[in-house]
Structure 1
Amino acid sequence: MPTTRTILLTGFQPFGGEQVNPSWQAVSALQGARIAGHRVVARELPVAFGASLKVLRAALKETQPARVICVGQAGGRAQLSLERVAINVDDARIPDNTGQQPIDVPVIADGPTAYFSTLPIKAMRQALNAAGFPTEISQTAGTYVCNHVFYGLMHALRRQPKVRAGFIHIPYSPAQASMYPGAPSLAVDTVTEALRLAVQVSLKIRMDARLAAGAEH
């Protein structure tokens, strides 16, 4: 039987013509790791509206985790982005890997407008920056499959307040960035170690730090 001493980490399959997705590369490197007495279980999600949530819900049921961090790629961002809020809308700029391209469709019909991360994201940012990992608080997870998964995750856990969860966006890997001159990147190994620290902080901190981390734009 699974116990609550499990950490569920998810990454995504490649999309948008890419051959790899560093979110899964970084997450899968932690499969089976022990962090603060908890065992990490990694799962790969399809880049597909609907199907991604089916896989996620099955993983939640299987692992009964104490913490959940879903990880996705945001090419063009220069830092690890700890997402603050998921919104109830799918509005795809490009089709997903199954050809779906929903426009102005709710993630969950009749669901609330938004959910906030329940991870201590400000304390996590503080610890990650102190350790040398470039990290920011992000005010938007977009409206593509990453936000779809983030919103679906928080909706699935809405009646389980003890299970803290959220979403982190990561930059391109150096291999990917080489195809886009000037694009920022972060090594996959670096992301993996940052995720390890993020999990540690999520388990240690009960009340988030009160630090300014807003955005003017």
Structure 2
Amino acid sequence: MILLTGFEPFGGESTNPSWPAARAAAGLLRAEGLDAQAVELPCVFGEAIRVLAAALEEHRPELVICAGQAGGRPRISLERIAINCDDARIPDNAGNSPVDRPVVGGGPAAYFSTLPVKAALAALLAAGIPAEVSQTAGTYVCNHVFYGLMHALRLRPGTRGGFVHIPYEPAQLPPGSPVPSLALEQLTEALAVVVRSTLATTTDLSIPAGALH
């Protein structure tokens, strides 16, 4: 079973493309014969992890891909690492602004994604979708959920998981805006490609996709 998640809108936005993309990708995968479900997460520290934990308990997935919006990024970002740090530059949707707090008290400094990020990168590029391996998921609710997911999956051997950041969709931007965006159809297909490549890959590719800074 495959679990996809996206977020509700945050930061004054009226929409967050991670949720319609996750929901549509789950439908696309079901049409291909795969058992897939999508769950919307609140953009709230603590509560987002609790909703995710309930979904893990209910669905018992073998693969979990959480998605979030990274407005301004030009590509699908396959996140490599989640860090044990909440440091909010803006309040979450409940008004919380944690600064320099651990996601999990006493937890390890970081967790790596268990998705084959290099194979997923190659598959996305082959599909004509701009993509990258990202070395930071930030310190807001996206990283909070990513870390919470990987912390939970340590007790679920055999279940793989990770986080994908997606750009804006065009409808969020004024006409002619230079800010990068991707059509919702591309965002949807990108999440489905990550699922397909993960299911087809047991050992990740060894190709360069690092960062100089």
Q: Where on the TM-score scale, by shorter chain, does this alignment land: which range?
A: over 0.9
The alpha carbon displacement at 1:195 in A equals 1.1
Letter in 2 for 1:24: W
Match of 1:67 in 2: 63
Match of 1:176 in 2: 172
1:99 counterpart (88, 95, 99): 95
After superposition, the C-alpha distances for 1:73-125 in whole angstroms (9 at most, x for unaligned) are 00000000000000000000000000000000000000000000000000000
Q: Identity across aligned pairs (percent)? A: 60
Q: What SS is found at the alignment partner of 2:39?
A: strand
After superposition, the C-alpha distances for 1:122-177 in whole angstroms (9 at most, x for unaligned) are 00000110110000000000000000000000000013231010000000110112
Match of 1:48 in 2: 44
The alpha carbon displacement at 1:30 in A equals 2.9
Match of 1:13 in 2: 8
Match of 1:3 in 2: none
1:159 counterpart (152, 155, 158): 155
Instruction: Show structure 2 runs of 5+ residues with no match.
Output: none
Q: What SS is found at the alignment partner of 1:197?
A: helix
After superposition, the C-alpha distances for 1:170-204 in whole angstroms (9 at most, x for unaligned) are 00110112279310000111110111111011101
> For the structure 1 residues 178 and 111, does the alpha-carbon distance in structure 2 shift closer, same or farther, using more than 3 Å as the test?
same
Q: State whether residues 80 and 168 of structure 1, in contact with CA within 8 Å, keep that contact through their aligned partners in structure 2.
A: yes
> For the structure 1 residues 131 and 156, does the alpha-carbon distance in structure 2 shift closer, same or farther, using more than 3 Å as the test?
same
Match of 1:203 in 2: 199
With the length of structure 2 as denominator, give the TM-score of the two structures: 0.96
Q: What SS is found at the alignment partner of 1:124?
A: helix
With the length of structure 1 as denominator, give the TM-score of the two structures: 0.95
After superposition, the C-alpha distances for 1:23-68 in whole angstroms (9 at most, x for unaligned) are 0011111344427653110000000000000000000000000100
1:24 counterpart (15, 19, 23): 19
1:122 aligns with 2:118: yes
1:34 aligns with 2:30: yes
Q: State whether residues 91 and 105 of structure 1, in contact with CA within 8 Å, keep that contact through their aligned partners in structure 2.
A: yes
1:136 aligns with 2:138: no
Q: What SS is found at the alignment partner of 1:175?
A: helix
Moved over 6 A (4+): none
Letter in 2 for 1:192: T
Counterpart-to-counterpart distance in 2, 1:166 and 1:72: 11
RMSD over aligned CA atoms reads: 1.3
Instruction: Show structure 1 runs of 5+ residues with no match.
Output: 1-5
